[in-house]
């Protein structure tokens, strides 16, 4: 899957790895938007894009919003598991 450069470099709030691209399993052309989750490909931390498209730790409000989106946690879980498998194959 191709990565889409969609934002300026932003560090993972957990491990500090810089990210400037993303991939979306459901829509290869979709760029991330504020409020979208993002999984670090180094440590598998689940972060969220803020309004400035910087990765930050999700707050309670974000978690509650994600809880209201049907299927989102399953998609996040699947993505985290994919990243973890990639990490252990290195």
Instruction: Please report the pLDDT score of residue 4 as a whole number.
Output: 63
Share of the chain above pLDDT 70, in %: 89
| Domain assignment of residue 85, given as a range | 4-89
Count of the separate structural domains present in the chain = 1
Instruction: Please report the pLDDT score of residue 50 as a whole number.
Output: 96
Place of tokens 């598998």: 44
Instruction: Please report the pLDDT score of residue 5 as a whole number.
Output: 62
For the cut 70, the answer to whether the pLDDT of residue 10 exceeds it is: yes
11 and 55 in contact (C-beta within 8 Å)?
yes
Average pLDDT of the residues of the chain: 89
- Rounded to whole angstroms, the Cα distance separating 82 from 59 reads 24
- Rounded to whole angstroms, the Cα distance separating 23 from 86 reads 14
For the cut 90, the answer to whether the pLDDT of residue 43 exceeds it is: yes
67 compared with 27, residue with greater pLDDT: 67
């Amino acid at each position: 899957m191709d990565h889409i450069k969609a934002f300026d470099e932003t560090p993972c709030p957990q491990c500090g790895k810089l990210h400037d691209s993303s991939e979306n399993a459901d829509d290869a052309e979709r760029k991330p938007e504020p409020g979208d989750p993002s999984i670090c490909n180094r440590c598998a931390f689940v972060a969220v894009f803020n309004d400035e498209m910087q990765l930050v730790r999700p707050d309670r409000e974000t978690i509650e919003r994600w809880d209201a989106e049907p299927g989102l946690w399953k998609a996040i879980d699947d993505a985290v598991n994919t990243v973890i498998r990639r990490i252990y194959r290195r």
